[in-house]
Amino acid sequence: MLTIQIKLHWDRYHAHPWGQNPGRVKEAEWPPSPWRLLRSLASAWFRSHPGVAHSDELKALIETLGQRLPLIGIGKVSFAQTVHYQPNYGKRDKATATYGTTRHENHFAATTQPICFRWNDLILDAPKRDLLTVLLKHVSYFGRADSICAASLSTDDWREPRDFGWCKPCLSADNKPQRRIAPKCRDVFCADPFDFQLTDLWQRRNSGTESKNAPVHLVNQMLTTDMQVDGGCLISYEMPKGWPQDWVVKTPRSEKKSDKPEPSDGPKVARYLRFSLQCRVPIATKFTVTLAELFRAAVNHHLCKVHGQGVKSPALLGKDVAEGHQHAFYLPLSQDHSLTDLHIWCPMGLTRTEVDVLLRIRRLNWGNGRFPVNPVLTAMGMEPPSDAKLAVGDQTIPPLMSRIWRSETPFVPPLHFYRGDKSNPKIKANATPEQQLVTCLRQAGLDKPVTIERLPAFQAGLTEEPQGRLPPMPAWDIVRAPEGDDLSTMPFDQAIEVATHQNSSDSSRARHRRIGFFMQLTFDEPVTLPMPSFGHSSHFGLGLFVPAD
């Protein structure tokens, strides 16, 4: 029995599968190819004997190894890759160049166990064994040059590591190697046991070696013959039992845990903040959600920048919140049809660390950065001031009470309330916008008789009635619909089309737009609303109600 052991110093095996485009493969060559081992031995000979042709002893040794298929010993492995771009000299700055850089894929396999090649039925005589021992000492890398290694013959007292298995060649009934399609089998490039010569490792047969001209390099010859070489072939190897579940280690991408406490750890210092939005151009109220999303994205950016990727802050980002609507509401408010203030209300409270993250936001790139918005803190506390006109239930003393509440921003029903398109809509039973608003109030804890009516945009105080020949620019996009009294046939009466919040899991680039309405709530007695806004995108400024009396 003969066993060659290769220990990778960096625990990485860099090699691409034979004959495949590196840009089209998913992982490195695994298990390692016996053909590479034979080429490494031949290379070791020429490195230790510069300018000397191969000897008969080398020919006999390598052909003896190549005419038998070895077992391949491997341990657990992880696959990864790196990518780099090589500049195309003299072309990068030319507009007419086909390409300025060349992409290079570097696939590798990470393993802590040695790679072994074992011939169970092979016993070398003393001269061949001595020659093999010398050659292995000159093998400094295996695969590509990144795979620094030390190669040696395994001793009889060597014991296999715990997580170690053997890949066996697939043989037919007449004991001939074959290729097999199966989940537990992989193709490996090997020397052809029935037709292999030493010189096949570096040249094609009948390649004109007697010519007076320098021989063509083997790589150039293979590129013109679809990577075909003489004396080599693909042979299927059966992987160890339990492949790949028990052998391929897949580590989820995660950041190293920090010793820093989580941003949400610590006493709560504030639940309300107000920022003045300083911008040299007015921001129309129709961009309420867009501006709120931009501010929240800046919160996420600064949170990850300070505390690392993957950090959690349920109060600021709304993820992993045990109870609904306890995380931050980002509520832009308007004056004279333009957004001038941003109110942040967080029922669960904010720590000093989370407040510091909010104060880091000094600039929002509005209009692709041409018109920056500079948020300036103007108020902070455990409850909103009286002039804020925000309904937060009984968390203010005294609570904000009113018998009539009106929409400051359109209420967008959480569920689609009609079928078909806007030209021929059909209202869903028990899902009108008014019914959905009542459901939202009940889910928030307000179950009292209420009268709901729709308001036109100008009556809600957001636009002016058209006067003269040219009407003013509307603050919201009004849905044009035929007039009528039956909401079951005219579901878009007094409707507003508005951009809504787009979840991070939604990969669509198109801005989501939904139908909303300005509503007026009339109760029998003064009440306080349990939270400032309701419906779809309520945490981004839509569905905000303020007292009207």
Taking only the tens place, the pLDDT of each residue in 3-46 is 999 999 999 999 998 878 777 788 999 999 999 999 999 999 99
Distance CA 275, CA 297 (A): 16
- Residues 426-450 have a mean pLDDT of 87
Summarize pLDDT for 45-91 with one digit per residue, the tens: 998 888 888 899 999 999 999 999 999 999 999 999 888 888 777 66
- Nearby residues of 3 by Cβ (< 8 Å), 6 or more positions away: 73, 116, 117, 118, 119, 153, 154, 158
Q: Could you check whether 2-196+231-238 and 264-388 share the same CATH topology? A: yes
Give 540's contacts (C-beta < 8 A, 6+ positions apart): 288, 289, 292, 293, 296, 330, 500, 501
Residue 469 has pLDDT above 50, yes or no: no
- Domain boundaries, given as residue ranges, for the chain: 2-196+231-238, 264-388, 391-549
Calpha distance 543→439 (Å, rounded):
14
Please report which confidence band the pLDDT of residue 380 belongs to, taking 50, 70 and 90 as the band edges. very high
pLDDT for residue 470: 46
* C-beta atoms surrounding 125 within 10 Å: 9
Fold classified for 264-388: Alpha-Beta Plaits (3.30.70)
Q: Is the pLDDT of residue 504 over 70?
A: no
Rounded to whole angstroms, how far apart are CA atoms 462 and 454? Answer: 14
The pLDDT of residue 268 is: 93
Distances (CA, A) of 31 to 73, 351, 399, 522: 8, 52, 71, 74
Q: How far apart are the first and last CA of the chain?
A: 96
Pick from 108-112, 203-207, 464-468, 531-535: least confident: 464-468
Average pLDDT of the chain, as a whole number:
84
pLDDT in tens, 179-226: 888 889 999 999 999 999 998 888 887 765 555 666 666 666 655 555
Q: Is the confidence at residue 236, as pLDDT, over 90?
A: yes
pLDDT at 163: 87
- Main-chain dihedrals φ then ψ at residue 500, nearest 5 degrees: -120, 170
CB 471 within 8 A of CB 478: no
- Once rounded to an integer, what is the mean pLDDT over residues 445-452? 91
Whole-model pTM over 0.85: no
pLDDT value of position 441: 92
**Range among 292-301, 414-423, 461-470 rated most confident:** 292-301
- Tens digits of residue pLDDT in 299-342: 999 999 888 887 888 999 887 665 678 899 999 998 777 899 99
Band the pLDDT of 468: cuts 50, 70, 90.
Answer: very low
pLDDT value, residue 28: 92
Please answer whether residues 545 and 406 qualify as being in contact, where contact means their C-beta atoms are separated by less than 8 angstroms: yes
Q: Does domain 2-196+231-238 have CATH number 3.20.20?
A: no
